[in-house]
Structure 1
């Protein structure tokens, strides 16, 4: 390393291969699933078969008597050790094991611990529970007025600044309601040339990371170490310490590489259970979920979205009312944040003077729902971009042209009152139009196989306010370590952050070692979620590297070295300490400014530190005899500011689009009385190689996020936004039928075609 030579060209903007690539392809990567500790007990879970019921009895006698079983533990056993065994990021509403009643099929009721996991699994089958059935509620709209109440009372967690206002509701299934009022929608609707009103529904789906959830708790002398596949080690530490009434320094959370997360491994999932069990039995305890069990642990919100627009004859939207119902399942998890943070984007990326929004987080007796790639935005874009196309077609205006007439331009206020800054919505829209050759004629097919095109665009506000801290440690030989608690789960964050350090210090990215998250070693980061890491942690990393660089410059000055002198960093330490010794520690802490929305109006002049923009155009082929839809071409475009690593960006765009493709065409958790009937990858169909579009393009528009590290901002979710409505719009364009509920299966298309043929 030198302080005077120009930095290696293009550390930011260079497609550096991922730093952990060799470990992964050679099978040497560390995963929690591979970890074993002497004396470790395996956990298997006995789960509820009732969607809503009071616990009458739990008989564990036969299970406890099975040879090889160490112990059988229920919620009441845990309550003797931890008096208030409830957790959650928004409400402390979820018990470690069910207490008093069960609220969804698959809820953990009791556990068996044994040295042999097969013995534990056999013993679970011997547990017998009796319930007094209560009336369940499964639909999010029905939950608004249902006599079936999932929670009798709620205790707000008070953990996060943006959720400080959540209230302790009683006798309702509403966990949080967000309302926004801007302008006079009533007057605008009364004066409108046209009023359009539609309802769209999206289904409950699952994250399906190929590495299932796993946690291992290791009790020590006054310390609890938790090895876990988590996206939020800092939160796990805080929450476990709170649960036990301990100071944070008695809890240590270590996270190796993750085999995917997508939001499933956020906040507390298994960690509270294994920590409580380890505290009770004083031995290491490991819980590894099966793929089936994940379907009952965390899912994506099903939604009902009612949207109404006032439109002039020439296609200008003058008012919009949005009503969104989020099916949060039995426990809130982070659903209240989804309801507010995503809810306020419900009118879409359009300049609409008069807006009213009502967004509700609702409890039901389904498995819990929380964060999933896109954080609620894909459900919203699905509705408002399908609605936009319906308006365009009714008015006889080209769908692209209608969007151009209403697009929200940089510098104009969003519905919340926050100005759109560094948000290249127009560029993304025009990029898709150009790549799709939208104005040119195209082959519409013949006979029973017809073709159509669709386009859709969406945007997302970042989570705020949140804190990220980074440490850059330069050793006496000039080698550099980066310490942060951002979790690399396949998105390439370790590599991108190392590139920021390299750019700042003027060294090669490949020489930097990124230390894996360990809360005793790596500093605080709120969580790896919502595409916040590039912006939030990236700024913290840049600040830490700059701090280290400044200290090196001060050291050089103290030694009488002047700028322009050619010297190595190792020379500085030798001159300073007389030998190869010492360190320079740079620290960076970043938290963006934020103003909470007004509780009465939902307005805020500073609701997000940056906007994510993404859109998709597709060309599809529809077989009118079978309803089968084939994606011939997909074009994804995004504004992510300046790309830190273009190759990683490209894989993030394609990965997000393919994931959303599954949610659009095939994936749905089929439910029967609260029971998931397709809880396996044999029946729950995620996209395979044959489902990927024949042609898929990913484009990065030329943009810059002035407040981001080297002009960058997040990208991991951008390509999820427009996929569903673009495909629905293309199907409509091809065969003239409009589907309003996901997924867009061949059966759904065929039924719509059959119904249309009767009209």
Structure 2
């Protein structure tokens, strides 16, 4: 036990909390460099077209403009200016062709931001418009091709299977096959066939994307609001043909990320501009521009289930089409990692899953909090309620009968261990008082309730490395490339280090990512940091203790751990000098899924579980929905810091609430986005959320996790959407199958159910 009491499990304030509330916290937006130029982007106004010509003469002649840059200029410093974590398919600036509205085509550089902005409107771009495709299902079989050729990046082990293709919009098709699905359906007492849809939405981090690049002599410094500084260094070095140690990436605190700031976003463009100008360049997006940069996948999910007379699911077919937009980004990983969970957390002997990443002429889609899980949970949990209702079963009881139990294999063949599915379900039902009598309200204000549960596999295989430097006074400096974007990772990792060293977490200083000094971390994504980086930090701290013990033995004195570091160092060096540096590296075990069946004995090191219980009140005359009760329960193993875990659960639930009820990127038939601003794109405000949001952590231990822990940043999103849809049906008897569940959609469904002709007006 730690000398100052256990650190893991403390309800501790965040290390950076005071700096944030006093305005002293350091963000990339604060970076100002001498002679810095501002960049503003001229973007495509059409969804799909060949570029006939770009006339920049008028823009370049505007007083105050330093230069105007097109793809031809970029090629002077980067010969092959294509990037991407899965495919090298995205040009730094459009080359020959544009593939979505809002794609960057040219850039103006100026010392004055407003001059640069004005000059973008003077750039004349002539297009030869091409047919475009926007729907993911149609695009999968269309002869309108977004890309002529696909070039796999080959960067990550789990994406090494990607192949170059031509003549298709399908970037990846991933499948799972288990048992005899045809036989299960032939013998079924009941067969269900439903299709569920979600649209594209945006991450809306309140700190928009920003990158500042300072060019030197064969060395550049990239200041960027990124969730993956290690990847930025690797990718920029590849693009330039430089050594990695010629590229330094520095990341400060982030004002939100949610997946939007992963891999390469602005860094390649800012680097090219800085090398061309030979001056520091700042590229900072407006909130509107973020809508054209990265989104969450829209999906179409067809799910068919064979069910026996006892209400047991015996077979399931799933087809999921992911709208990847114009560039793949990390969509193939989303397609695989979430695709293999499409059959749900249920014990089904016979499963067939097909998951397709499809190019369209919409803005690119990539990682988003939940990493595709919320889209598939939306489908399989909505159908769970449809099945239960048709069979006359209580929705909770139906799930009890079908949920996987400890040691049983998931559809991929990987046994589920330490996944508290049943505990999470029962705790949610208990908090909802599910077995108590329920008042459905009045004819004008109907009440209903719903429950849903989902799960997520931890992304694997990935690597995390940490270094820990113990100072002569027993304090410590932790260096890692995990990015704190509001989730409290700095605090959690300090607590892990302190737990091992036997000191208080406040005595650990966390160094923000700087690739010249902080070691490699794959990225801050997918709730992986608590599991991967905390293991690396634990190992680094244990390495420090081992070195202290060896030094104590060498000097012939008692080993007093971190508390005795000062005395040991004075004896060793004859003065208060030196420090002890420990390193830790962690990579979990992983077995790649079989190409033809998706089967793997070890497809993930752990499973995260989340459930939601919701009570709603529906105004039958307007379709307006009010959330009356909101309960969220997760299995995160042993919480490192329960206080932060609770805020993670509630914040995740609120974010998914927005995508359930309000958020939708509205495109017209030409691919033009109608609502790229907070004036028209609504996220939840204080009046949209219930007065109290219930949060609970199921009692569980992740036995292969650091101090029994696993990730939690996404678990609170899983069950929200289907639970609300179930509550609406319980209230007014209509089942909605597409998100968002806007009042108009609810009202139209109510009107249609009663045969009102106005339903289609």
CA contact (8 A) 1:631 1:694 kept: no
Quote the Cα distance in structure 1 between the aligned partners of 2:239 and 2:560: 56
Q: What residue number does 2:46 align with?
A: 50
Q: Is it true that 1:677 corresponds to 2:674 in the alignment?
A: yes
Q: What residue number does 1:645 align with?
A: 641
Quote the Cα distance in structure 1 between the aligned partners of 2:314 and 2:167: 38
CA contact (8 A) 1:7 1:503 kept: no
Residue correspondence of structure 1 range 210-221 to structure 2 within 5 A:
210-221=206-217
CA contact (8 A) 2:188 2:308 kept: yes
Quote the Cα distance in structure 2 between the aligned partners of 1:105 and 1:564: 64
Q: 2:624 aligns with which of 596, 604, 628?
A: 628
Residue correspondence of structure 1 range 64-83 to structure 2 within 5 A:
64-83=60-79
Q: What residue number does 1:543 align with?
A: 539
When structure 1 is superposed on structure 2, of 434-443 and 323-332 the one drifting more is 434-443
Q: Is it true that 1:269 corresponds to 2:265 in the alignment?
A: yes
Q: Is it true that 1:356 corresponds to 2:352 in the alignment?
A: yes
How far has the Cα of 1:7 moved from its partner?
Answer: 2.4
Distance change (3 Å), C-alpha of 1:377 and 1:471: same
CA contact (8 A) 1:152 1:171 kept: yes
Q: Is it true that 1:594 corresponds to 2:590 in the alignment?
A: yes
Q: Kindly tell me the number of residue pairs found equivalent between the two proteins.
A: 755
Q: Is it true that 1:749 corresponds to 2:760 in the alignment?
A: no
Quote the Cα distance in structure 1 between the aligned partners of 2:538 and 2:712: 19
Q: What residue number does 2:125 align with?
A: 129
How far has the Cα of 1:572 moved from its partner?
Answer: 1.0
CA contact (8 A) 1:594 1:609 kept: yes
Which deviations, in whole Å up to 9, do the C-alpha atoms of 1:412-470 show, x marking residues without a partner?
00000000011111110011011111111122101210100100000000111000000
- Structure 1 residue matching 2:54: 3-state secondary structure: strand
Note the residue ranges of structure 1 that are not aligned, 5 or more in a row. none
Quote the Cα distance in structure 1 between the aligned partners of 2:560 and 2:129: 79
Q: Is it true that 1:169 corresponds to 2:165 in the alignment?
A: yes
Q: 1:139 aligns with which of 122, 135, 138?
A: 135
How far has the Cα of 1:568 moved from its partner?
Answer: 3.0
Distance change (3 Å), C-alpha of 1:587 and 1:118: same
Note the residue ranges of structure 2 that are not aligned, 5 or more in a row. 757-761
Q: Is it true that 1:429 corresponds to 2:436 in the alignment?
A: no
Q: What residue number does 1:222 align with?
A: 218
Quote the Cα distance in structure 2 between the aligned partners of 1:295 and 1:23: 30
How far has the Cα of 1:169 moved from its partner?
Answer: 1.0
CA contact (8 A) 1:103 1:330 kept: yes
Residue correspondence of structure 1 range 242-253 to structure 2 within 5 A:
242-253=238-249
Q: What residue number does 2:706 align with?
A: 709
How far has the Cα of 1:147 moved from its partner?
Answer: 1.5
How far has the Cα of 1:564 moved from its partner?
Answer: 7.1
When structure 1 is superposed on structure 2, of 660-669 and 438-447 the one drifting more is 438-447
How far has the Cα of 1:16 moved from its partner?
Answer: 1.1
Which deviations, in whole Å up to 9, do the C-alpha atoms of 1:112-154 show, x marking residues without a partner?
0000000000000000101101110000000011111000001
What's the TM-score once normalised by structure 2's chain length? 0.98
Quote the Cα distance in structure 2 between the aligned partners of 1:91 and 1:693: 42
- Structure 1 residue matching 2:754: 3-state secondary structure: helix
How far has the Cα of 1:583 moved from its partner?
Answer: 1.3
How far has the Cα of 1:408 moved from its partner?
Answer: 0.6
Q: What residue number does 2:389 align with?
A: 393
Quote the Cα distance in structure 2 between the aligned partners of 1:477 and 1:221: 39
How far has the Cα of 1:563 moved from its partner?
Answer: 5.0
- Structure 2 residue matching 1:472: 3-state secondary structure: strand
How far has the Cα of 1:576 moved from its partner?
Answer: 1.1
Q: 1:561 aligns with which of 557, 560, 572?
A: 557
CA contact (8 A) 1:322 1:346 kept: yes
Quote the Cα distance in structure 1 between the aligned partners of 2:600 and 2:468: 35
Q: What residue number does 2:457 align with?
A: 461
CA contact (8 A) 2:474 2:562 kept: no
How far has the Cα of 1:65 moved from its partner?
Answer: 0.3
Quote the Cα distance in structure 1 between the aligned partners of 2:47 and 2:561: 73
Which deviations, in whole Å up to 9, do the C-alpha atoms of 1:85-136 show, x marking residues without a partner?
0000000000000001000000000000000000000000000101101110
Residue correspondence of structure 1 range 286-685 to structure 2 within 5 A:
286-563=282-559, 568-672=564-668, 673-685=670-682
Q: How large is the Cα RMSD of the aligned pairs?
A: 1.0
- Structure 1 residue matching 2:659: 3-state secondary structure: helix
What's the TM-score once normalised by structure 1's chain length? 0.99
When structure 1 is superposed on structure 2, of 745-754 and 472-481 the one drifting more is 472-481
